[in-house]
Each structure stands twice: as C-alpha cells, then as structure tokens.
Structure 1
Amino acid sequence: MNSREIELLAIGAGPSNLGLAVALEELAPDLAENSLIIERNQTVEWQSGMLLPWAKSQVSFLKDLATLRNPRSRFTFLSFLKATGRIDGFINMGSLTPYRLEISAYLDWVARSLSKVSVELGRDCVRIEPSRDDSGTLTGWVTTLADGSQIASRYLVIGTGRDANIPPVLAGLSKGRVIHSTGYKQGVAGLSKQFPYRVAVIGSSQSAAEVFKALRTDLPDSDVAWVMRSIGPTVDPSSQFTNELYFPSYIDEFFDTPAEGRDRIRRELYRTNYSCVTPAMQRSLYADFYRDRLENREDRRMVTMTEITAAREQDGEVILELTDRRTGEVTELRRDVVFLGTGFAWRPPRLIQGLADAIGLAEVEVTRRYRLVVDEPAEAGCYLQGVNEATHGISESLLSVLARRAEDITLDIVAHRAANRFRHDSHSVVPSLVSAQSRLH
C-alpha cells in the first residue's frame, strides 16, 4: 500500500484551501513546504456545474484569496489580470464583479503559481481516521484515498464545502432524472438540444434562476416549468448596512453572541443570501417573460406557491405531485427531467460527519479559529472551512471572509506547533502508518 507522511493535508482545491495555501506561503513558508492540497477532480474549477458564460460573481473582485489580508500579495485577482494581460479590459468593463468563468480561471492560476504548497488533482478522499500514540493522545490523521493509498498528517484542513441538498421527496428518484445545479452543465450536456423535453426546475434561489435562464439556450425546444414554494422570485434585499455583517471583522462579534442570539441574526439575514436572486437576474427574468408574452409562448412558466408532496418514476417519466399552498388542490406534473436549485444541506458534510464518528464526537464544534473541538488529549489539529455558519455567521460559505479565515487558521497552526515543538523535534509527523492502522482496526 502506497503511504506517505506530511505535516499538513488540505482536502479540496476550492477557494478556501487555495486561500489557505496563499496564507501559508506568505506567513509560514516552512510549514507550506510540507503541506499538500488534494482535489478529487482533474482540474481546478469554481462551481464547475454552473460555469455559464454570462454568469457573474456576486461579490467584488477585491474579495479574492489575498487582498483583504495582504493587498500587496502576488496572488491577488489584480495580479492574475496583469499576468494574463486583461487588466486594462477588466477596468474598462467598469464592474466590481467578474464573470464566474474568470474567477474559476483565477483559482486555477493561483494553484499553478504556488511555489511551496503542493497541489495534486484526481485524488479522491474516501475516509479519514484519527491516529493516536501508545498513551492515547491524538497525534494525527490517516487519510485514505480512492486508490487505496494513504496520507498521514499532523494537521488536517477540510474545505470541500457542503453536500448538495436533495429534498427527501425527490431522493428516491434516479440520478439521470434528477440533476442538482452543482452538476447542471454535465447533466444538460447529456441531453439532446433538439429534443422537446418536459423539464421541471425546483427552487427559488439564484441557482434555480440561472438554470431556468440557461435552459432557454441549452434546451430551446423544451417545455420548462419552474416550481417554487414562494409567491415568486424574491430580490436579494441586501444593503450597505446588512453587508457590513458579511465583513470578516464581524465574525468576532457573532461568535461571542449567545447561541439563541446567533440564530436570530441568521434568521434576519437569511433572505440576503438564500432563496433570493440578484436585482440583475430579476430584471433579466422579467424581460424574458415579457418577450414570451409578446410571442404568445407558453412553454416557459412559473408554478408558484406550490409544494412537491410526492414523486415517483413510472413508464420512463417523473410524476410530481403538486399541492397548491393557497387552495390545497393536488395536481400532477409529468416531466422527463428535473433540475434542482435547492442549495446545500445544513448538516455536516459526509466526510466531516464520518471523521466525527471515528473520533467519537457527539457533535461537530469548532473554536473561533476554526479548529475542531476534540474532548481528549491532542497534539494534532483538524480545521473546518466553509461549514461553520452557526458559529461564525452567514458569510462563512462565501468568498467574503476566506482570506482572513486562512490567516486565522495559519496563525493558529503556527501557535499550536510552537506549543508542541518538543514533539515535532523528537518524533515524525505522526506515528508510523503501520502502528496507526493497528490501533485503528
């Protein structure tokens, strides 16, 4: 079995862990040289399933991997534009928000520009287990990859994002019939552009709106019903005032607020990030519907105030049971394919929950500096990125805070290493994989 030891392993080559890599190279270069990012995909892409040619980021380019922490960094978005010869054109666009394709290209450029942190693609993590020494002290982690190889590390950072949310009523349908927005491009690529499919789009979020809009081009002859529980698409109600609660500087205040207060804040801010669309998307959608009416087209429509109360497959089609939330009337909608714009699950991702179970944790908690809380002696650390909204605020899953979060994690690891220097000086990163495995099994 192929195995190796490193000091820090980061799982997922998305914005969070690439931001961490940048912080490591600039703040802790010695640690960076013994750090590795693994990514299950063969390329570094941002929101690959929704890389639509017209889709834009919803945050300023200044909220990149480095600027809010170090504006002089060579890894800023402006440095990327300069290196790729597009800085003049971008400035001339007069927009703070880049196209999503450009953010994705920026992340790939950063991954290729790292000089100390290694990045390996096509490396799928299937399991993480704790490693302990003879005294029972937690000393590291053993990560098993899909090919059977293992990586032992003292520090672990999980930045894979949350799992896609598949509503329970639809969970039993075949994957070929139900496609989450995270796999939209891949899913629609397998459908004939000329065939008149009957399509349903579920949800009222920005992703649902983008799928609905994209289908006009990707499946132009299809009948598309956009089904949502709400009265209609709602515009993001953010303002400069509410946006201040997305600042990295607000995290301390949020973290120090009692749990009940944090929940109230999250409920107040929910519509600024979830189940809403941008003003630009709202205008575009309405213009599309207006033109449809001019042309007497009825093959693109919204079905609002409607709950999906049952679903089944029969004779090669999906049959959705729709319940009108106003009248209680039940009808059936027969579709060939269903696209989901239903966001992401609130529960911990499967990888994190599996790790928590392996350690024996009753619940997943992190410190202010994102270190997993373990109720046992530990000389190792595990950090979670992008999944701590309950304790760190609504910005946790967004680009807004990741540069400063990367700094927090890097400095916490540096301090933790210093506090345990005697172990690092006299031992390998973790006990041997052979001895670790004998204790694990």
Structure 2
Amino acid sequence: MKHRDVELLAIGAGPANLALAVALEELAPARMAADSLVIEQADTVAWQPGMLLPEAQSQVSFLKDLVTLRNPRSRFSFVNYLHSVGRLSQFINMGSLWPYRVEISDYFKWVADSLSRVRLEYSRRCTAVEPLRDAGGTLTGWLTHLADGSTIGSRYLVVGIGRGAYVPEEFAGLPERRVIHSTRYVQRIAELPKTVPYRVVVIGSGQSAAEMFDAVQSDLPGCRPTMVMRSIGLKTYENSKFTNELYYPSAVDDFFGARPEARRQILEEMHITNYSGLNPETLEKLYSTLYLDRLTGKGRLRVVTMNDVTSAREDGDEVVLELTDRRTGEIEELRCDLVLLGTGFEHSMPSLVRGLADALGLERISVNRTYRLDVPGPATAGCYLQGVNEATHGIADSLLSMQAVRAWEITNDILAGRAGGGSDRLAGEPVESTPVPAAAVPVFAG
C-alpha cells in the first residue's frame, strides 16, 4: 500500500475537472497546478462513451467549451483543437454551432493530453474519502482511498464524477443481459449478434431514448423496436432565446439568491429545455421513419404513449413488461428480448459524496456559491462539488455551459483561501473576488 500527498486532488476526468485543470494551469501555474492531480477510473478520457453514436451532435455551442467563456484567447479552446488537428476550415464550412458528439469527446481527450503542469492518471478508481482533522478538531485535509489499496492525501478535493445511471426499480430484477442503459449502449450493443431478430423495447421520451430507438434499427438490422413512454408523445426542447438566457453563467447568481419557491418554479419551467425533449432534427427524422414504416406496411416500429411500466420479469427466453395505460387503466403485456433504458441519471448525490457527508457528520449536503461543501467547525481544507448542484445553482449546473466559468470560480476561491491561510475564510462565506472582465466572458445562448 502506497501513500502520497498533493495539494489538490480532483476525482474524475470529465469535462468539469478538465476545465478546472485548464484553469489551474492558466491562473496558478506555479502556485497550484504543479501540485494538482486528476484521477480517472477509466483508461482514457471519453465523453458519454455509451452514446457516441456516429451522427449524434452536441446540443451546446462549440463556444461553450472548457475555456472560451473564461478566456477566449486560451490555447485549450475548441477552435484551437480544430486548428491543431487540421479540421478548422471544414468545421467552418459545415456552418454549424453544434459539433458532433464524437468530436467533442476527442476534444476533451486532446485537452487532457495537452496539460503540461496538472498531472492526470488513469485507471485510478476511488472507493472512499475521509476527512482529516488535527488535535484541535480543525479540518485539515482529505484522505482518498483507491481500489488498489493506495491512498492520496490532499488539502483540497474536487469531486466531478457525475451522477449514476438511473435504473427504475421495475427493471432492477432483470438479468444484466436483458437491460442496457443508455450510458452503456454502444459497448453493449456491439456484443450482440446482428442476425437475431430481437424484439426491443426502448423506455423513455428524451433525447437518449430517441437516439437509441433510431440507432438500434441499423445496429440490429432485424430487430422490431417499440418505444414506451409516460408522456403524451415525443416533443422538442423548448429552445427560445429568452429561456436560453438562464444558461448564462451570470444567471447562477440570480438563481442562487432566489427564494426556494422561485427556484422550484425556474427548475420546473426550465425542465423542457434540457430533459424529456428532443432536438428538432431528431424528432423530424423519427417521425419520417415512422411514417415510412406505416406507408410501406412493414409494421416494424411502434410507439406507445401514456403508459407506465408497472412491472418487468423474465419468463423463459423473453422479458414480460406490464404496461398500464394512464388514460384507461387497462393493462397490457408486452413481450420482448431486450430493454433499452433512456431513463437518465439518479437525482441523489453520488454514493462517494454521501459517504463523505456521513464521515463529516452532515445532516444535509449543501455547497456555497463557489461550490464549496459546507462543513461544520473550523477548516483549513476545502471540498468542491461539480455538476451535482442544480438545486442551488440552476439547471445548467450539470451541462457544458457552466464548465469554464465555474472552474474559474473554484480556482479563485481556492487561491483566495490559500492567501488567507486561515480557517475562518474557508469555513465562512465565499471570499469576494475580482469579477472576470466582461470582455473576457462573452455570452452565447444555447
């Protein structure tokens, strides 16, 4: 068992912590970056690898990359990535703000490979984090345990691991070979024989469900897909320029300072801008596909609306889903071979964060405006949570829109705490800091 110490440890090499690594390199190359480490449990950087479908595009402008909203002149920008791989002219000629998802994933890997000061290590799975206190009870750091038995000590900890895949309890009892969540679609579907005429049921009405419903028709050419949803039908995202203003980094201040009832209203009304909806191109393609299926009399495709899956069981060589019609209460049995879940992610905090909260004796998990975990008592150490703070920081918290500016805010808060050098600042209110100049933070909707 080996132990080592760093000043800052970031768990997870997703876009949130990659943006943080870039911010550390650009804002604190000598003071912090050289003693900062990012660990990733996978053996490479890949963005949503289970849904890296060939034609899938990002729903966010390329200008909302890991750095541009903070520093448009950065060498880590998406534009510089395109230039470095010789594809800038082609991308411009395509005339789209939205890169392909595989391209965004490759950009993230390019950023990871381009880091020169912050270290990044792969195949490092974190199993637990415990707080460290001195004899007087002051929180002085964190001890992170890895699956290989080694430990890492740090003064600052940044958790950016995302939420776990949500598998509704009705499907929890089915064998793994029968159920594929969208987060594992590409890998799992590649393992299946292409000649078997699978009866496939896709659960959900959002973008991931629609993409799987479309993709499985070619990935398993002989299959017969059925899409089941609780909603009245597939619909597009609400994407007006007015609601897109709530994805501005500046909107976080308004949301954080709002009363609880106002926050609930904003989240409820903004739900359709990111969840349970499709981009217009996907919806148009699916409708055309369904229309042609009916026109040619193939009857291969089916969409079932306003139905709940009230139970699921394996019966011999097939899965039996019990569907309850929300309009009539009638129950139908739907038999299939494979279930694809487009059910999104858990609403609860990741288990790693919950375990840390238990170790700290926290009754509730909360963060301040600069994403620092609220801890009781004096502290000279800090823990920051990325991408799990929609309830306090708004709907954009888990999206690419916030990565660049949030990384700046966390970095600045850490640097201010280090400059203060005492427990009062880290345990108290966020340190006020000089805002990013307006000219350096252009704002783009979408």
**What interval of TM-score do these two structures reach, taking the shorter chain for normalisation?**
over 0.9
Cα distance in 1 for residues equivalent to 2:154 and 2:26:
21
Cα deviation for residue 123 of structure 1 reads 0.7
CA distance in 2, matches of 1:173, 1:152: 40
Task: Give 1:31-430 correspondences, 5 Å limit.
Answer: 31-420=32-421
Whole-Å separation in 1 of the counterparts to 2:314 and 2:414: 50
Aligned-partner Cα distance in 2 for 1:422–1:277:
47
The answer for the alignment partner of 2:434 in structure 1 is none
Q: Secondary structure of 2:357's match? A: helix
- Range with bigger deviation, 44-53 or 159-168: 159-168
Counterpart of 2:76 in 1: which secondary structure? coil
- 1:437 maps to none
Distance 1:184 1:44 in 2: 18
Alpha-carbon shift at residue 264 of structure 1 (Å):
1.0
Work out whether 1:10 is the aligned partner of 2:10: yes
Letter in 1 for 2:282: M
Task: Point out the more displaced range, 406-415 or 168-177.
Answer: 168-177
How many Å separate the matches in 1 of 2:83 and 2:285?
32
**Please, which runs of 5 or more residues in structure 1 have no aligned partner?**
424-441
Q: Aligned equivalents of 2:217 and 2:223: distance in 1?
A: 8
Corresponding residue number in structure 2 for 1:20: 20
CA–CA distance in 2 between the matches of 1:203 and 1:341?
Answer: 5
Aligned positions, number: 423
User: Which residue identity is paired with 1:27?
Assistant: L
* Counterparts of 2:193 and 2:296, CA distance in 1: 24
Per-residue CA deviations over 1:224-273 (Å, capped at 9, x if unaligned) read: 11100011111111200000001001000100001121011101111111
CA gap 1:323/1:86 in 2 versus in 1, 3 angstroms? same
Shift of 1:317: 2.2
3-state SS of paired residue (2:176)? coil
Deviation at 1:5, TM superposition (A): 0.3
Unaligned runs of 5+ in 2: 425-446
**What is the CA-CA distance between 1:422 and the residue it aligns to?**
10
Is contact 2:378-2:423 (8 Å) kept? no
- Choose 286-295 or 365-374, whichever is displaced more: 286-295
| Counterpart code for 2:26 | E
Q: CA deviation at 1:340?
A: 0.4
- What is the DSSP-based 3-state SS (H/G/I as helix, E as strand, rest coil) of the residue aligned with 1:115? coil
Partner of 1:436: none
Letter in 2 for 1:68: L
Deviations 1:276-325 (A, max 9, x none): 00111111111111221222121211111100011112213221110011
Structure 1 residues 156-194: Cα deviation after superposition (integer angstroms, max 9, x where no partner): 001111111111211222222111100101111121111
Whole-Å Cα distance in 2 between the matches of residues 144 and 316 of structure 1?
Answer: 42
State the SS of the aligned residue for 2:177: coil
Residue identity in the other structure for 1:25: E
CA distance in 2, matches of 1:329, 1:31: 62
* TM-score (norm: length of structure 1): 0.94
| Counterpart contact for 2:380–2:422, Cα < 8 Å | no
Matches of 1:418 and 1:316, distance apart in 2: 64
Separation (CA, whole Å) in 2 of partners of 1:258 and 1:316: 53
Distance 1:361 1:382 in 2: 13
For normalisation by structure 2, the TM-score amounts to: 0.93
Output the CA distance in 2 between the equivalents of 1:95 and 1:125. 38
The residue type equivalent to 2:67 in the other structure is: A
**Offset at 1:421?**
6.5
Return the letter of the residue paired with 2:393. H
User: The residue matched to 2:321 in structure 1 has which SS?
Assistant: strand
In 2, Cα distance between the equivalents of 1:411 and 1:250? 19
Q: Is residue 6–residue 152 contact of structure 2 (8 Å, CA) maintained in 1?
A: yes
